[in-house]
Amino acid sequence: MSEFLPTTLEEIQQRGWEQIDFLFISGDAYVDHPSFGPAVICRVLESKGYKVAMLSQPDWKVEKNLAALGKPRLGVLVSGGNLDSMLCHYTAARKLRKKDNYTPGGIMGKRPDHATVVYSKLAKKIWPDLPVIIGGIEASLRRFAHYDYWENKLLPSILIESGADLLIYGMGEKQVVEIADYLAGGADISTIQYVRGTSYVCDDLQNVTEQYVSLPSYESILQDKKLLANAYKLQSDEQDPFYGKIVIQQFATRYVVQNQATYPLTEEEMDAIYDLPYCRTYHPSYEKLGGVSAIEEVKFSIISQRGCFGSCSFCAIHSHQGRIIQARSHESILREAKLISELPDFKGYIHDVGGPTANFRHPACSKQLKTGACKHRQCLFPDVCQNIDADHSDYISLLKKIRALPGIKKVFIRSGIRYDYLLADKSNEFLDELCRYHVSGQLKIAPEHISPSVLKCMGKPGKEVYLKFMRAFNKKNEEIGLKQFVVPYFISSHPGCTINDAVELAEFLRDTGHHPEQVQDFIPTPGSCSTAMYYSGVDPVTGKKVFVTQNPHEKAMQRALMQYKNPKNRTLVKEALQMANRLDLIGSDSKCLLRLSQGPQGSGSRVKGKVLQKDNVRKDTRNSKLRKR
């Protein structure tokens, strides 16, 4: 059995180490699994001969706790965890969450807000002479000036706030080894300003000798919100490793410099990372606290690739993992499947084989590994590119091999299917395989909305594509004699979504018979195109103004319309329909969203128009103000 990385001074001494090379400070509990970034980075360094110790969720209120494992020889690595620490703490309504899935027992408050910043400052205070290097999703997506939804303000680069020496953006395995080797060779951290996939701070640009792109400064964006949209567009155009330039942003008298993105990992490099000796569970010290629930979603799942060319506006995965797919070999994945099948609590079910998008197993087209992804063209939006390689045969072959392994009863696909990409495949074989073998009765997909104007802002395919897939899915299940259903996910209050668009979605849900139990308000997380829209009111892609609702009450109305059948939402639904001037949807007709036969307000008869008009007068002033927004 694999051995956990040392987490205490005693465990370090048991290994016979006098001093560790790197201390890794994480905002998450220690879960030694390839789905958890801190574990991956530490295991990669360990495989290169470095002595690494993990300090998880130290009590930041007591400074000396960060020095509990001793001073490292080469440097301190800091990550907020698998999620942005603010997203871990707060909901879309800016309320404190009840549970932290990345903490033992789900206990809240074991990490600070802006964990990367807090840990980095403390590490610098304790060891001023040691390099402090930040990475992970929180650092990666906050590397430029960004809007923080929970604080409701524009923040500078996390490099400026944290005082860190270097920031690793993206997945980080290549960069961290290169940096470690330079440090081990005696290089000063202040001179390591040339590693791809990193950012640093400098006082002047005299050492930047290559061509670069300048973003609007932090101070200028504070003066004009629309410039955040421009900044997002400029930096996102330079994220491709094959043609992207250095990107620079000024903060007062200092500059944040982002080097070009790291090149995609080869199949051999991907295999080497995922073949490392992970323990595949949380540290045993957490058992008495109730364990770490985040492992449950991934314990019996396999990451087969990374990257995403879907490029949805509200998602920042393509900013973190890149648009070019990097995949593991069948052999590596089968080795992991065998390991999973031997786990004592494995019941025969592989929960997922995929990545950000399950059916993206290879680059979108052959040219991407030579010249990069197209700079001003998305692979699937507004239409599927004519050069797309939508062949699913490799994925089908892989799934068949996993299904054939001893001890495996079923292989599910839960990480999401891009149905527009599936439909672009000239063969129907994958849909047949999917329905026959890989759906657990319900297939979760994410159309996100159905209004054309909202979908345009989201970068998602049109309603007709979703309906085409629905017809194909239902026809295939009827053909093979299975009763299986699609569970669609939708987002409310996304930039571009007016109350009329929300009503249109509610009507669609009514007509298709979908009644979502849970709905998701749009959360403007750092680093996404949609967040830039939310803050600036401008679409970074088109440069045009976009309707954005930041009014909590109107957001509540949009959310209520998606669950119009819930009696608790009647008042909000009624107000929303009045605001949209859709009184035709209030009554006893089968097409009405607000049925007057429901609840104490209705006795089964239609309310007369005069009553509705009287109610409208009371809300006219308020609704007109909301419409102007």
- What span, in angstroms and rounded, lies between the C-alpha atoms of 626 and 440? 43
Q: Which two tokens stand for residue 261?
A: 């993105």
- What span, in angstroms and rounded, lies between the C-alpha atoms of 490 and 493? 10
Name beta bridge partners: 147: 154
Name beta bridge partners: 448: 490
Q: Which two tokens stand for residue 460?
A: 């998602």
Question: Strand, coil or helix: what is 130?
Answer: coil
pLDDT tens by residue, 4-50: 999 999 999 999 999 999 999 999 999 999 999 999 999 999 999 99
**Please, what is the Cα angle at 290 between 288 and 293, to 5 degrees?**
145
| Token pair 């998880």 in the structure block, residue | 56
Mean pLDDT of all residues in 500-525:
94
Mean pLDDT of all residues in 396-407:
98
Band the pLDDT of 605: cuts 50, 70, 90.
very low
pLDDT score at 216: 98
What's the first-to-final CA gap in the chain, in angstroms?
A: 60
- pLDDT of 433 strictly over 60: yes
- What span, in angstroms and rounded, lies between the C-alpha atoms of 446 and 63? 44
- What span, in angstroms and rounded, lies between the C-alpha atoms of 232 and 219? 15
Measure Cα distances from 483 to 442, 503, 605 in Å.
9, 30, 37
pLDDT tens by residue, 572-588: 999 999 999 999 999 99
- What span, in angstroms and rounded, lies between the C-alpha atoms of 325 and 42? 23
**DSSP label at residue 120:** H
Q: Provide DSSP, 191-220.
A: G----TTEEEEES-STT--S-EEEPPPHHH
Average pLDDT of the chain?
Answer: 94
With b meaning 16 or more CB within 10 Å and e meaning fewer, what string describes 522-545? bbbbbbbbbbbbbbbbbbbbeeee
pLDDT score at 597: 61
Q: Which residues contact 532 (CB under 8 A, 6 or more apart)?
A: 147, 228, 229, 231, 232, 538, 540
pLDDT score at 603: 35
Band the pLDDT of 621: cuts 50, 70, 90.
very low
Tell me which H or E stretch contains 303. strand 301-303
Mean pLDDT of all residues in 607-626:
41
Measure Cα distances from 223 to 102, 256, 570 in Å.
38, 19, 41
Q: Which segment of 379-383, 521-525, 533-537, 601-605 scores lowest on mean pLDDT?
A: 601-605
pLDDT tens by residue, 476-491: 999 999 999 999 999 9
pLDDT score at 33: 98
457, 539 Cβ separation under 8 angstroms? yes
Band the pLDDT of 2: cuts 50, 70, 90.
confident
Structural domains of the chain, with CATH = 9-200 (3.40.50.280)
pLDDT tens by residue, 589-599: 999 999 886 44
Q: Which residues contact 539 (CB under 8 A, 6 or more apart)?
A: 229, 457, 495, 496, 533, 545, 546
Amino acid at 504: E
- pLDDT of 142 strictly over 60: yes
581, 598 Cβ separation under 8 angstroms? no
pLDDT score at 601: 42
* Of 342, 339, 355, residue with least CA distance to 277: 339
- pLDDT of 606 strictly over 90: no
Mean pLDDT of all residues in 416-423:
96
pLDDT score at 268: 98
- What span, in angstroms and rounded, lies between the C-alpha atoms of 366 and 102? 38
* Of 123, 52, 119, residue with least CA distance to 276: 52
pLDDT tens by residue, 280-330: 999 999 999 999 999 999 999 999 999 999 989 999 999 999 999 999 999
Q: Which residues contact 410 (CB under 8 A, 6 or more apart)?
A: 348, 349, 350, 403, 437, 440
pLDDT tens by residue, 147-185: 999 999 999 999 999 999 999 999 999 999 999 999 999
Q: Which segment of 217-221, 373-377, 451-455 scores lowest on mean pLDDT?
A: 373-377
Confirm whether pTM is higher than 0.75: yes
Q: Which residues contact 296 (CB under 8 A, 6 or more apart)?
A: none
pLDDT score at 197: 98
Band the pLDDT of 617: cuts 50, 70, 90.
very low
- pLDDT of 612 strictly over 80: no
